[in-house]
Structure 1
Amino acid sequence: MGKVTGFKEFERKDESYKAVEERVHNYNEFTVPLNETEITEQGSRCMDCGIPFCHSGCPLGNLIPDFNHMVHQGEWQKASLILHSTNNFPEFTGRLCPAPCEKACVLGIIEDPISIENIEKNIVERAFKEGWIKPQPPKTRTGKTVAVVGSGPAGLAAAQQLNRAGHTVTVFERDDEVGGLLRYGIPNFKMEKGIIDRRVAILKAEGITFKVNANVGVNVSIDELKAFDAITLCGGATQRRSLPTPGIDADGVVQAMDFLTQQTKVVFGKEVKDQVLATGKNVIVIGGGDTGSDCVGTSNRQGATSVANFEIMPKPPGHRSPTTPWPYWPLQLKTSTSHKEGCERNWLINTKEFIKDKNGKLTALKTVNVEWKMVPGQRPQLIEIEGSEKIWPCDLALLALGFTGPEATIAEQLGIETDARSNYKAEYGSYQTNIPNVFAAGDMRRGQSLIVWAISEGREAARQVDIFLMGKSDLPSKDMAGDLVGIQ
């Protein structure tokens, strides 16, 4: 695959970015694409590995060496066909996936790995530009109806696969636009929403019906759902984690997802009452993951006076940790483009109190430095370091602490069993709940995870629904080898 000596001739080259001074004044994507020659050279670096471990790193099982080879040969349309054979939405993953495939790349053992994610993004963008991506409605209909709850990546993937099988599919989305967290949880500067809209237009042209402002169990009755022959639940893990910390009720302590959603709605001219703004404020983002990073980038664009990021875990090493050797997902420091736009990062720090004034407004945070004590056979113990307390001026604290699981409304009203983490019980491989015609996939089933897992589970669940309805299925399946490298 690729050019036999390509990995020796060409170094890895990634997209560049517009200058910070330019990009922080708007909410547009700011990547500067490589030209076609440069992308072709990147595809040429693929090594023709005896065992392509990138397949194992990718939960979708993308045929990575195959589409790299097509890019190397200039066969872009063939590359698009190969890419779409396993991934319904490479324009999403090519922007948002952390690329576990690259961490499992064999070349990555000795050199910089293949720039798989960027190649993927360029393939799909070329395909849209050339008009190769067209609606593919089924030739016949089965007469079976399927409800899909949730229009995030899992729901959209399940809907497209089920529609291709010939079933009549209706997608229920509780927000006012399709996309789930892709729409309002991901800032526009990471993925402009026209990227979602053009794909949804394809899905609609294929015959899928979308109902927005449709909150199942609230303003859409469970009885309406029960009228379908099968139900696929892809509602995500949307219960936000909070902190049992004094002062958490202060005016100025805000959940990150509320903050991000408001700003994205404002970008598109939607009315937002009492928008939370970072403008002119000392902002502290609690939580060091991708959502925390998104809050940093949004705060800088809103004109925050200062932005700090707190993380209770130790600072990861700059290079792959020996505890996570190749091809496992590495324990390694990640510095996002938002961090580079301006942010003070702090590790091993715990918030002890949100300090507020007599009117209940947040004015500061009290913190303490911590360390983790590791005892064999026991859970790690969090130890506070005596005398390390500190007061941080703070007008806005954003809680980016992840999610604890899906909301219980649908489970309670349908009678679906849940596990200890509140996830909807549906055995991996069958995706079937304790109610035979009800299936669950994505974060609602497995807990908070990656976009590639969501799409993969949506695809796999669709196949199981098809088998349930028809006794067999021609939809593709795969052995999800991503578990081999520990990507959850």
Structure 2
Amino acid sequence: MGKVTGFMDYQREEAEERDPFTRLTDWKEYAAPFSDDVLMRQGARCMDCGTPFCQIGEELNGATTGCPIYNLIPEWNDLVYRGQWKEALERLLKTNNFPEFTGRVCPAPCEGSCTLAISDPAVTIKSIERTIIDKGFENGWMTPRILYKRTGKSIAIVGSGPAGLASADQLNQAGHTVTVYEREDRAGGLLTYGIPNMKLEKDVVERRIRLLEQEGVNFATNTEVGTDISAEDLKAKHDAIILCTGAQKQRDLVIDGRGATGVHLAMDYLTGSTKKLLNADMGANDFIDAAGKDVIVIGGGDTGADCIATALRQGCNSVVQFGKHPKLPLARANSNMWPEYPNIFTVDYAHKEATAKFNKDPRQYSIQTQRFVMDDNGNLKELHTVQMEKVKDENGVFTFNEIPGTEKVWPAQLVLIAIGFEGPEPQILQQFEVHTNNKKVEAKYGDFTTNVEKVFAAGDARRGQSLIVWAINEGREVARRVDQYLMGSSVLPSYLEA
């Protein structure tokens, strides 16, 4: 695959990014596409390794290794190197329903397990993937696949995130009538209202939704199951139901002063910001605005970084991000061997932007928030922290201990809590009376059936907070399972039987 000596002849080239000061003035994607010549060279670096670990899709030591949707990466790298873009698109679409999403927002565990990454920078798999699908749309290769024969079976999918959309796409192509129920005014789930425009422009999501509609998928937006339509009504109306609600119940930080005005959950902030962007008529009180405020983001992950980037564009006075863990090493630790996902220090797009604006990295490490303090009117004015030390006890278990004398007071008028998700919101699960395990829907992977007849579950609602590629994996697999349930056998492909 690729050029035999390509990995020796060519160096990895990073995707170009727009100048931080320029992109802070708008909400457009920060990454700029590669030229064809650059990507052909990058495709040539794919080294014809004996076992392409980029495709293995496993979980090692609690992290994803390789691609969970088993993209045929070496094959389309080789086709890009040869300039055969349409053929590369055909190979890409065999395993991935939505490369335009994964090519933008997936953390690319495939690159972490690239064989070349043992000793050199990995192949730029993610950038190649994004360009393949973008060329598909630009050149008119992505046209509606119209079915003229239907099975007469009706399926309801609750939730229009990547798992729901993947299952809808597969089941529609199998000939079933599919309706996707979404409580928001636009389809896409977190793709629309959870990921900021700077990482995934909403016209990219809307373009895919339109294509699915043209192919026959029905979308019922502004429809909340349990409020606008009951679980019983859905059961009476459809032959099968798939719960793809995601894991949207956010973890909160319940400490002194949590009730202060100005302390918010991260997704409430990001959702309101995107709604404001898509609806200019929204009032000032309908979303959370960071303009002129000292902002602190609690949580060191991607959602926290997205909060930083959003606050910068809104014109915050300052921004700091708290993380409870120490700063990661620049190179893999001995306990983090290839092909595991590399736990190393990186600089996200938001951190680059904050550094450009305020001349320092916004991240603070090994820090714990102790309390929020409000003024006489109940408004947040500051928070108190202490530094933590991560230590391993005699049993090899890590604990965090406070370091005396490291207490600090931080001025803040806006705090955004981005410490992850507990699982799906419980109300809808109660509506369907499905059993849960550790706050998630109880449904075995590969089977996806719940305790309730004809009700299935997939994606983050079943597995908990995870990656978009796992959502697509489960969306495709549950579609095959539902097709078998309805028809006795399935025409749909399966990763499990590949």
When normalised by structure 1's length, the TM-score is 0.96
Residue matched to 1:28? 28
| Change in 2 beyond 3 A, CA 1:480/1:352 | farther
Residue 82 of structure 1: SS of its match in structure 2?
helix
**Is contact 1:174-1:216 (8 Å) kept?**
yes
Q: Is 1:308 matched up with 2:320?
A: yes
2-structure distance, mates of 1:205, 1:381 = 53
Matches within 5 A, 1:39-50: 39-50=39-50
Matches within 5 A, 1:6-25: 6-25=6-25
**Pairwise CA distance, 1:376:** 4.7
Q: CA offsets per residue over residues 291-328 of structure 1, 9 Å max, x none?
A: 00000001111111111000011111122222111001
Residue matched to 1:390? 408
2-structure distance, mates of 1:344, 1:168 = 49
Q: Is 1:264 matched up with 2:282?
A: no
Residue matched to 1:222? 231
**Is contact 1:265-1:272 (8 Å) kept?**
no
Residue matched to 2:329? 317
Residue matched to 1:158? 167
**Is contact 1:241-1:402 (8 Å) kept?**
yes
Matches within 5 A, 1:433-444: 433-444=450-461
Q: Is 1:446 matched up with 2:463?
A: yes
- Structure 1 alignment gaps of length 5 or more: 482-488
Residue matched to 1:89? 98
1-structure distance, mates of 2:284, 2:189 = 21
Residue 283 of structure 1: SS of its match in structure 2?
strand
Q: Which moved more, 1:187-196 or 1:432-441?
A: 432-441
Q: CA offsets per residue over residues 240-267 of structure 1, 9 Å max, x none?
A: 1111210011011011111111111111
| Change in 2 beyond 3 A, CA 1:326/1:137 | same
Q: Is 1:337 matched up with 2:346?
A: no
Match of 2:288 among 255, 270, 276: 276
Residue matched to 2:4? 4
Residue 31 of structure 1: SS of its match in structure 2?
coil
Matches within 5 A, 1:315-464: 315-342=327-354, 343-377=361-395, 379-420=397-438, 422-464=439-481
**Pairwise CA distance, 1:341:** 0.8
- Count of residue correspondences: 480
**Is contact 1:61-1:480 (8 Å) kept?**
no
Residue 264 of structure 1: SS of its match in structure 2?
helix
Residue 369 of structure 1: SS of its match in structure 2?
strand
Q: Is 1:53 matched up with 2:56?
A: no
**Pairwise CA distance, 1:382:** 2.2
Matches within 5 A, 1:139-178: 139-178=148-187
Q: Which moved more, 1:330-339 or 1:204-213?
A: 330-339
2-structure distance, mates of 1:172, 1:277 = 30
1-structure distance, mates of 2:120, 2:103 = 22
Q: CA offsets per residue over residues 99-122 of structure 1, 9 Å max, x none?
A: 000000001111111000000000
Residue matched to 1:285? 297
1-structure distance, mates of 2:116, 2:453 = 45
**Is contact 1:371-1:384 (8 Å) kept?**
yes
Match of 2:251 among 241, 255, 259: 241
2-structure distance, mates of 1:282, 1:201 = 40
Q: Which moved more, 1:335-344 or 1:156-165?
A: 335-344
2-structure distance, mates of 1:222, 1:83 = 37
State the identity as a percent: 49
Q: Which moved more, 1:137-146 or 1:181-190?
A: 137-146
Residue matched to 1:472? 489
Residue matched to 1:485? none
Instruction: Specify the code of the residue in structure 2 equivalent to 1:262.
Output: G
Residue matched to 1:207? 216
Residue matched to 2:262? 252
- Structure 2 alignment gaps of length 5 or more: 57-65, 355-360
Instruction: Specify the code of the residue in structure 1 equivalent to 2:5.
Output: T
Residue 354 of structure 1: SS of its match in structure 2?
strand
1-structure distance, mates of 2:151, 2:262 = 53
Matches within 5 A, 1:92-111: 92-111=101-120
Residue 474 of structure 2: SS of its match in structure 1?
helix
1-structure distance, mates of 2:283, 2:465 = 27
| Change in 2 beyond 3 A, CA 1:480/1:305 | farther
Residue 74 of structure 2: SS of its match in structure 1?
helix
Higher relative contact order (CA 8 A, sep 6+): 1
2-structure distance, mates of 1:175, 1:273 = 20
1-structure distance, mates of 2:497, 2:193 = 29
Residue 166 of structure 1: SS of its match in structure 2?
coil
**Pairwise CA distance, 1:380:** 3.0
Residue matched to 2:61? none
**Is contact 2:230-2:431 (8 Å) kept?**
no
**Is contact 1:236-1:406 (8 Å) kept?**
yes
Superposed CA RMSD: 1.3
